[in-house]
Structure 1
Amino acid sequence: MEGVETSGESIGRYRLLEKIGEGGMGVVHLAADPMGRKVAVKVLRPGVATDQTALRRLAREVDSMRRVHSPHVAEIVDADVTAEPPYVVTQFVPGRTLEQSVRDDGPLRGDRLQRLATGLASALAAIHDAGIVHRDLKPGNVMFLENGEPVVIDFGIAQGVDATRLTATGLVIGTPGYLAPEIIEGEDAGASADVHAWAGTLAFAATGRAPFGGGTFESIFYKIMEGRPDLDGVPEPLLPLVRAAMARNPAERPTAHALVGLTQRIDVNSTLVDPPSTQTKRLTAVSAPPPARPANPRDFRGQLPPAPPPPPPQQPYARSPYGAPGQQQPPARYQQRPPKEPRPDEPKPYGIYRFLSLLLLVGAVGLSVVTPAIALIVVLLVLLGLRTADRGAQELTSKRTRRGPRSGDLAAVIVKSPFSAVRAALGMLLVSPLAIIAAVVVLLIGLAAKTGLTIPRAVALATAAFVIVQCLGPGSEPARRQLARVWGAVLPRRSQALVALAVIGFLVFLLVSFSLGQAPDLRPFDSRSLTHSLSGLRSGIRGLLGG
């Protein structure tokens, strides 16, 4: 960055005052525009500036970011990606970052935490409405205004360049402790990845700790992939929302717009006493009987009630962290859950759900080889049902985001399901041309092949190709997303999913084994007439190929 780091120099129309930040993609300066107003200028490093593909992408993202207008976002003021070096100018936000504020003053509480949650969600909603993704939301990229409102900075700039450069070399976009699991798996960062980062940033603000701890990248990534963040200390009213935003499957996370409505309705102050840490719980239970909690904790004067008699020795607690048998029973809020009750933060096994969905597809292909027509009807009906349910789920979320949950929301979605089914059918029609092309290609190859492949078998393989493209081709995401919801509702625990995987896998194995030795049944079509018609087509194809 020669020629731009020294205070007093200029770039474009802006006079650089001092360097206020530095990252892998560039250096951020406090600068003054021709009117003397302060702005933040990010100057890209020479290595990035010479990548023309990255610069073209950056130019497109800057154009999109100009449409972002929100009091919670540092807006784009100016940019020139063709300059030497390229630079982007944003609104300058004075003050401390969320990271600095928490480290200096401790975790946020009450109204400050709720304003942060709502403000960050509003910022993400505005960014996503512009068709872009932040990709690196974290405590260091959140500033506080004098009125206590949060402002998101540095969105989509360096990350737009990173998305082109780092993907090619196999590196990772973003800050390790706030990455979504799908990014670690190598998938593109979508809006749901920002929601995951929102939850991590909020957890840091409430606890003063990174949600997945520190250490090496490998250890942090392992915790993220396991879906077990450290949320001890997050206020209880926020816990369900934070856990939902950190769902392992991106489709299960709420949207940024949903977060805005939900955080506005949550009363963080409803929890009068902060949940104690695990260490505090153990020390309290071992050292002394817990004091009685008066109606108003602020009026507590330190008086301790008489200790209740200890429980009889024949009622020990199994593996209790609160002490040996005979010590005082800890309060109900500290007791362990029954062993058979699933943990509230137990992540759903979405990796197993993918295998289950794949097994269903293999089973559909096996059925297509045995009875092509029946398999085609069944698959299309199932896909239509999944797409219709997905539209209903999204409409339900949208309603509750705009005006809060109501008792009649689900009934309204069910009443409108026929209209949703029509729209879902239209969506399937958009995928059908590709599926039909795939089926025709496979059929022609089967007819042209000089093997013992019969005409009914060629028709069955063409049907299987249609099913595969219809289930996995472009535009099939709504059905797969709803199927993940179904698995999550029916098989919420890993043990249940593993049992289902074994059972369905065995049944699919039997079906495929049966289909390999079975002649295809083309009913309700007339097998003889269809075979006769395609025999003429086979002869013509082979004649054209010189066979």
Structure 2
Amino acid sequence: MEGVDTSGQMIGRYRLLEKIGEGGMGVVHLATDAQGRQVAVKVLRPGVASDQTALRRLAREVDSMRRVHSPHVAEIVDADVTAEPPYVVTQYVPGRTLEQTVRDRGALRGVELQRLATGLADALAAIHAAGIIHRDLKPGNVMFLDNGQPVVIDFGIAQGVDATRLTATGLVIGTPGYLAPEIIEGEDAAAPADVHSWASTIAFAATGRAPFGSGTFESIFYKIMEGKPDLDGVPAAMMPLVRAAMARNPAERPTAQALIGLASRLDVEATMFDKPSAPHTKPLTAVAAPPMANPRDFRGQLPPVAPPPQQPPPPYGRRPYPQPPPPSASRERPPDAGPKPDEPKPYGLYRLLSFILLAGAVGLAMVVPSVAVIIVLIVLLLLRVADRAHQTLTSKRTRRGPRPADVAGVIVKSPFSVVRAGLVMALISPVGIFAALVVLVIALASKSEMTTARALSFSAAAFIIVQCLGPGSQPARAQLARIWGAVAPRRDRALIVVGVVALLTFFLVSFSLSQTPELRPFNFPQFNHDLAHTRHQIRQLLGH
């Protein structure tokens, strides 16, 4: 293996323990300093260290990294670009990479995915604020701390945003499946390239697959250039943000700073009946390790950091993406601000609430079948319209940030949304109608003395259940989950709502079982006569 032997060799003041990674520029080793603190030492490969261009690049990397300060970035603690061989020392992050975690446990879901998206966005925001870019954000360069927070590692190819693009013979800069299209085209990469890599990394975490597949460089590059990622499995709430960050035109992507606010506000578990995430079969991190080195431990050993370069103006015609205010750890939350960002919403209770509500609708169908069907259809129509409005509003704000006229624009377009939702419901209604007819025929053909009115009530109940849970019902269910989340954002409040709704539903169902179904507005003689005649024919056909 090309690189440095790690059998106890000293690099500067650090004793190498083992190799933990390597890339095109060098080999990364786990090492300890004189106090026993673990650090990560990146040593330039012998073939690259003799290249003056590579050495200048490493010097610029060191200067750039020292301007980055974020809990989501493994910061530099020491460096010597004049040593033989040159090396850079960063904080060592014990644990497992995102790539290993997804491979062993499966795709991330819910709060884990949101925490990852927000943490990586925060890391990129700190990197870009220092005037540099990472250029190699990928699942293998993301580690997890004990508390599940992500940390970006390996600035092996980070460089200033105003620097001339550097290459080395035989060296591929970046990882093919996570490169932005402008890098493939040979353009000078800027901060939006990291945003594209952020989206690819989040897509991998949410699906367990590389978004642009595997295979030859040519096939992967073709999919990236054509903008054809495989996003099947990305949560619906996260999808607009991922697509916006993968925009073919770099100027259309949100900034890393904007991603922080947008990702933290997403309701990634709004879909009520998504399959739960894979169980935690392995911890995110390894066993307890010696204390990590801190940049403060090496204060005074390095020369003063150079001032950050001036940020270039945005391209002509591009509006700066709105920047949300940075989060403040000391800022107190108002008492009614709802759950904390790390406090997950009780989506299990929301599902239970929706099932209880469905039971209430079935109970109503036992008393007034036609009225129950009409009410359920109206409610489903409104839920679909609201879901469409939510998706439109989220998509707009993801692409260009919130604006005062967003809500008014959605309201103006609501009539078109009503028509569209009505057409969709008309297309999926035959499934419910077929189920209702099957139940009606079975009820009419039974040997019991069930009245035709009761048979119709069972038929209406079957139609309602299929409309609420059958094919094409996901948008309405997702919007209902959002409503429950707004009404009862915390578990204690959700439990109260569950108790109240369950009690009302119990009384409604109990009352319905003791009542004779009312067929209005279809309670007229000809209808009853035809239904009775149909029942008689069915029984004759079955030989009853």
TM-score using structure 2 length: 0.51
User: Could you list the per-position Cα deviations for residues 224-273 of structure 1 after superposition, in whole angstroms to 9, with x for gaps in the alignment?
Assistant: 01101000100001100000000000000000001011011111121223
In 2, distance between residues paired with 1:81 and 1:89?
11
Report the CA distance between 1:299 and its aligned residue: 9.0
Name the SS for the 1:124 alignment partner: helix
Match of residue 351, structure 2, among 296, 302, 310: 296
Report the CA distance between 1:408 and its aligned residue: 6.5
In 1, distance between residues paired with 2:31 and 2:353?
48
Q: Are 1:407 and 2:417 an aligned pair?
A: no
Of structures 1 and 2, the one scoring higher in RCO (CA 8 A, sep 6+) is 2
Distance 1:205 1:64, change over 3 A: same
User: Could you list the per-position Cα deviations for residues 495-518 of structure 1 after superposition, in whole angstroms to 9, with x for gaps in the alignment?
Assistant: xxxxxxxxxxxxxxxxxxxxxxxx
Name the SS for the 2:40 alignment partner: strand
Q: Does the aligned pair in 1 maintain the 2:73–2:153 contact within 8 Å?
A: yes
Name the SS for the 2:108 alignment partner: coil
Q: Which amino acid aligns with 2:198?
A: W
Q: Does the aligned pair in 2 maintain the 1:68–1:75 contact within 8 Å?
A: yes
Look up the match of 2:258: 258
- Structure 1: state its 5+ residue gaps: 277-293, 307-330, 333-343, 345-392, 412-547
Look up the match of 1:130: 130
Q: Does the aligned pair in 2 maintain the 1:166–1:172 contact within 8 Å?
A: no
In 2, distance between residues paired with 1:241 and 1:24?
31
Q: Does the aligned pair in 2 maintain the 1:39–1:90 contact within 8 Å?
A: yes
In 1, distance between residues paired with 2:406 and 2:56?
45
Q: Which amino acid aligns with 2:88?
A: V
Q: Does the aligned pair in 2 maintain the 1:233–1:275 contact within 8 Å?
A: no
Look up the match of 1:103: 103
Report the CA distance between 1:32 and its aligned residue: 0.5
Name the SS for the 2:241 alignment partner: helix
User: Could you list the per-position Cα deviations for residues 31-62 of structure 1 after superposition, in whole angstroms to 9, with x for gaps in the alignment?
Assistant: 00111100000111011101112211221221
Look up the match of 1:204: 204
Name the SS for the 2:78 alignment partner: strand
Name the SS for the 2:269 alignment partner: helix
In 1, distance between residues paired with 2:64 and 2:148?
28
Look up the match of 1:237: 237
Residues 110-149 of structure 1: matches in 2 within 5 Å? 110-149=110-149
Look up the match of 1:12: 12
Q: Does the aligned pair in 1 maintain the 2:132–2:158 contact within 8 Å?
A: no
Q: Which amino acid aligns with 1:24?
A: G
Name the SS for the 2:177 alignment partner: helix
Q: Does the aligned pair in 1 maintain the 2:69–2:126 contact within 8 Å?
A: yes
Name the SS for the 1:28 alignment partner: strand
Report the CA distance between 1:409 and its aligned residue: 9.3
Distance 1:197 1:165, change over 3 A: closer
In 1, distance between residues paired with 2:208 and 2:405?
40
In 2, distance between residues paired with 1:295 and 1:83?
61
Look up the match of 1:41: 41
Q: Does the aligned pair in 2 maintain the 1:206–1:234 contact within 8 Å?
A: yes
In 2, distance between residues paired with 1:24 and 1:183?
17
Q: Does the aligned pair in 2 maintain the 1:244–1:254 contact within 8 Å?
A: yes
Residues 303-382 of structure 1: matches in 2 within 5 Å? none
Q: Does the aligned pair in 2 maintain the 1:233–1:274 contact within 8 Å?
A: no
Look up the match of 1:356: none
Q: Does the aligned pair in 2 maintain the 1:203–1:234 contact within 8 Å?
A: yes
Q: Alignment identity in percent?
A: 79
In the alignment of these two chains, the number of paired residues is: 302
Q: Does the aligned pair in 2 maintain the 1:94–1:145 contact within 8 Å?
A: yes
Distance 1:295 1:192, change over 3 A: closer
Q: Does the aligned pair in 2 maintain the 1:7–1:19 contact within 8 Å?
A: no
Report the CA distance between 1:2 and its aligned residue: 7.6
In 1, distance between residues paired with 2:159 and 2:47?
15
Look up the match of 2:471: none
Name the SS for the 2:61 alignment partner: helix
Q: Does the aligned pair in 2 maintain the 1:180–1:193 contact within 8 Å?
A: yes
Q: Does the aligned pair in 2 maintain the 1:199–1:242 contact within 8 Å?
A: yes
Look up the match of 1:385: none
Report the CA distance between 1:172 and its aligned residue: 3.9
Q: Does the aligned pair in 1 maintain the 2:165–2:188 contact within 8 Å?
A: no
In 1, distance between residues paired with 2:158 and 2:129?
18
In 2, distance between residues paired with 1:144 and 1:234?
21
Look up the match of 1:221: 221
Q: Does the aligned pair in 1 maintain the 2:64–2:159 contact within 8 Å?
A: no
RMSD over equivalenced CA pairs, Å: 3.6
